[in-house]
Amino acid sequence: MLTRKIAVILTLCLFWQAEAYAERIKDLANVGGVRTNQLVGYGLVVGLNGSGDKTPFAEQSLLSMLNKFGIHVPAGVKTNSKNIAAVAVHADLPAFAKQGQKIDITVSSLGNAKSLRGGSLLLTPLKGVDGNVYALAQGNLVVGGLDASGGDGSRITINIPSVGRIPDGATVERTVNTGFDLGNTITLNLKDADFTTATNMVNSINAQLGEGTASARDAESIDVMAPRLPNQRVAFLSVLENIEVIPGQEAAKVIVNSRTGTVVIGQHVRVSPAAVTHGGLTVKIGENTGISQPNPFSGGQTAATAQSSVDVQQSGDGRMFEFPNGTSLNDIVQAVNKVGAAPGDLVAILEALKQAGSLKAELMII
């Protein structure tokens, strides 16, 4: 069954990569400086139904919050609250986000809280890597998990109840300068660096917007002349990102997922003359217990001894097949079907071909 799946995947790769096709620039590249920024904060979730933290830092956070509101708990007195949880809050701040806009946040328990279901996050500042506060988070959690336990120790857990989300749970308080409207040029950064794709993109931009508009800095970055006024620059990028480019074809690669048995072979993979034999070895190791009986009147004692047996057998259904010069993807697919190789055997065959110098491709095992 797994071998059949492998053959289907390899055959699909053959058809998908048979023809070159054009893609939009917005699918191939990102605009330099236009990116999301990660935010993180520490907060307190309250209102839990006895499923909260039993950790010192959760207790300390509660006492600190009470002190801010003028409620002083005597030293050494513990609240023993089971309805609070110390949490980490993180969010992605989109590019061009403005003050007052809302963003989604994710809330994760830091201690041993069993569940955050039904809790509310109190006001939590979210900071960037520079230490500045960029958003304020607060709201009621939406938790997709469930945790329930009985008095006899039985327990059931569905999904992950210690993580929740708050849609539109944070308000942006500070904007991030992207540098989008600075300078006479904008930079397009390819998602996958490739000299051919960069050259094709420069040629396509110059063909539609005028010679000299774009120039390649390297295999990843392309500088494009752009208007300085923000309104004109936005309209210019709207046209630019929809220009179609024929991307360069990927280098010859064979990607093997050793955990799932998935094998993907690129279109340009070739194999030089080689012969491969496919067989199997069966190793059987047995452990038996024997009784050691001493000779009469020797004074010895009866004892149990371990006896090991090792048997190595080679299956007789091994086959040999030959890869002629310039073997293509289709030939490899047919050879795999004929030999009936399992995923583990196929990985071994590909590794042997690579070590022998017959596989003209990069072998990546993930």
> Tokens 């030999």 appear where?
339
pLDDT of residue 330: 59
* Per-residue pLDDT, 313: 44
Q: Digits of tens for pLDDT over the chain (366 positions)?
A: 444 544 444 444 444 444 557 889 999 999 988 889 999 999 999 999 888 888 888 888 888 888 888 888 877 777 778 889 999 999 999 988 999 999 999 999 998 888 898 899 999 999 999 999 999 999 999 988 666 665 555 566 677 888 999 999 999 999 988 878 788 889 999 998 889 999 999 999 999 999 989 999 999 999 999 998 888 999 999 999 999 999 888 778 878 776 776 777 777 777 776 666 655 534 343 545 666 677 766 666 776 665 544 443 445 555 555 556 656 655 666 666 565 666 666 677 777 777 777 777 777 777
For position 115, what pLDDT does the model report? 87
* Rounded CA separation 323/359 (Å): 10
- Report the pLDDT value the prediction gives residue 77, as an integer from 0 to 100: 74
Every domain of the chain and the residues it spans: 2-8+253-292+303-365, 37-172, 181-245
> Would you state the pLDDT for residue 285?
38
Q: In the structure encoding, which two tokens stand for residue 34, read together?
A: 């236009």
3-state helix/strand/coil string of the chain = CHHHHHHHHHHHHHHHCCCCCCEEHHHHEEECCCCCEEEEEEEEEECCCCCCCCCHHHHHHHHHHHHHCCCCCCCCCCCCCCCCEEEEEEEEECCCCCCCCEEEEEEEECCCCCCCCCCEEEEEEEECCCCCEEEEEEEECECCCEEEECCCCCEEEECCCCEEEEEEEEEECCCCCCCCCCCCEEEEEECCCCHHHHHHHHHHHHHHHCCCCEEECCCCEEEEECCCCHHHHHHHHHHHCCCEECCCCCCCEEEECCCCCCEEECCCCEECCEEEEECCEEEEEEEEEEEECCCCCCCCCCEEEEEEEEEEEECCCCEEEEECCCECHHHHHHHHHHHCCCHHHHHHHHHHHHHCCCEECEEEEC
